[in-house]
Structure 1
Amino acid sequence: MIRFGIGIVIAIIVGIVILGGIKRIASFADKVVPFMAFGYVAASLYILFVQRENLIPAFKMIFTSAFGFQEAAGGVLGFSVAQAMRW
């Protein structure tokens, strides 16, 4: 029941913002985006902190796996396809 109530409240807020036009949408975004960005950075830092013992092995695997014949061939193939699509 509480989920339904929360859904109704969010739907009303979204409706007010959308019906307010582009200026109200921009105003709402101006207020909300900084909090969203902070939340994203905070969550990312938390995950990095919790997984701190896996950071060095992860970076090592990224760099050892990034430079090889198969990876270079994939890059050449991708570039070739992109160039072919331009024509």
Structure 2
Amino acid sequence: MIQLLNFRLRVILLDTQVMTGQMLAFDKRMDLVLSDCEEFRRINPKPGASGTAAQDKEQKRTLELVILHEETIVSMNVDALPPTLERQ
């Protein structure tokens, strides 16, 4: 996990939320600290809605600093290299 420090990660949570952010820290229980985090979550349509309005919508929210508890994490993927490696 230490090799992933400063990498931009995409983390999928139990409630299907997707968080993307730069990993700043982790602990022995695998709790994560993400900075410059963005949250993506699906909004279910209201019952009885029809047509294009009935499709699931995705809501994006920008968050500064997020701590993710290890029990809520389903999967993690590298989304981008650390800023220092991208410039080289």
Larger Rg: 1
More strand by share: 2
TM normalised by structure 1 equals: 0.20
TM normalised by structure 2 equals: 0.20
Q: Which has the higher contact order (CA 8 A, sep 6+)?
A: 2
More helix by share: 1
